[in-house]
Chains A and B, each alone.
Chain A
Amino acid sequence: MDLILFLVFAGIAVVAAINVVVQRHPISSAVSLIAVMGSLAVLYLLLGAEFIAAAQVIVYAGAVMVLFVFVIMLLNAGGETKAGRSFVASLLGVPVLVALLVALLALLAFFSARLYPRDTEVHFGGFRGGTAQAVGRALFTTYLLPFEITSILILIAIVGAIVLARKELE
């Protein structure tokens, strides 16, 4: 059951992520990105991260992507025109990407095999420490200082966004 759930939603995530990259129109990429984030939320649930799964849907798939779609529609951005790419770039692009993927997989395999010699089996309910209660307790005790700094960061972001957006009105 867990395996089927993982395969289905990992498949959706990979296909939608490929779609994000290959689509010409930004709106198509944005909708595909929402699909990636939704399926990642399911995988977070599978890993026992209830709070993060909910935050993923609300903050990412909800707020951030609405902001993206809003800006795309506000700018009336059309499809991407085909750029006159250099020959070297079109020749090297895909091999470099595959090399990066292989390097990442090798690094992950090397370090996880070193740290955790036995591959853990993931099953739903295997880790129950990701509830809102547990996350909230850690957030307001161990991670209180980063949390407070985050509030200042968001305040700066709000002021910065307003200043940048107001300049165009004048």
Chain B
Amino acid sequence: MMGHVPLSWFLMLSAVLFSLGVAGFIFRRNIITMFMSIELILNAVNLTFITFAYQRHDVSGHLFAFFVMVVAAAEAAVGLAIILTVFKNRGTLNIDDLDSMKN
């Protein structure tokens, strides 16, 4: 029918966002930008959950997205605290300079 969106387009959008998140995680050297790329990946996965919840007419997908959201919020709090500590100790956010575990 005209004006309706194929469900697969949502999945394609999700795949594109996921790939961009992975690209950001790999290409960026700033630890905060890498962390934001992880949030982008989680958002892409959430879109897939919501899309399949629509497909199956089942609210469970929404619950999974909700739990992903909660875990992402907790992860952001702890992760940013770790970034704060790393910056205070090392004075840099560049991931290439944080190589003390290399040797």
A interface residue numbers (CB < 8 A to B):
1-4, 6, 10, 13-14, 17-18, 20-21, 26, 29-30, 33, 36-37, 40, 43-44, 46-49, 51-52, 55-56, 59-60, 63-64, 67-68, 71-72, 74-75, 77, 80-81, 83, 93, 97, 100-101, 104-105, 108-109, 112, 116, 119-123, 126-127, 129-130, 134-135, 138-139, 142-143, 146, 150, 153-154, 156-158, 160-161, 164-165, 167-168
Contacts and interface: CB of A to CB of B under 8 A. Distances in A.
Contacts of A37: 43
16 contacts: A18-B20, A20-B24, A47-B10, A52-B66, A52-B69, A56-B46, A60-B43, A68-B36, A81-B94, A109-B8, A121-B6, A122-B4, A135-B63, A142-B63, A156-B74, A164-B81
B98 interface: no
Contact of B13 (A14, A18, A160): A14
A14 B4 contact: no
Interface string B31-75: 011011101100100110011011101111011011101111111
A105 B10 CA distance: 11
B3 A49 contact: no
A29 B63 CA distance: 28
Contacts of A164: 78, 81-82, 84-85
Contacts of A161: 77-78, 80-81
A168 B66 CA distance: 33
A80 B30 contact: yes
Interface of chain B: mostly helix, strand, loop or mixed: helix
Contacts of A139: 63, 66
Q: Size class of B's contact patch? A: 35 or more
Nearest to B93: A77
Given A21-B20, A52-B66, A150-B70, A134 B59 contact: yes
Interface of B: 1-24, 26-30, 32-33, 35-37, 39-40, 43, 46-47, 50-51, 53-55, 57-60, 62-63, 65-67, 69-78, 80-85, 87-88, 93-94, 96
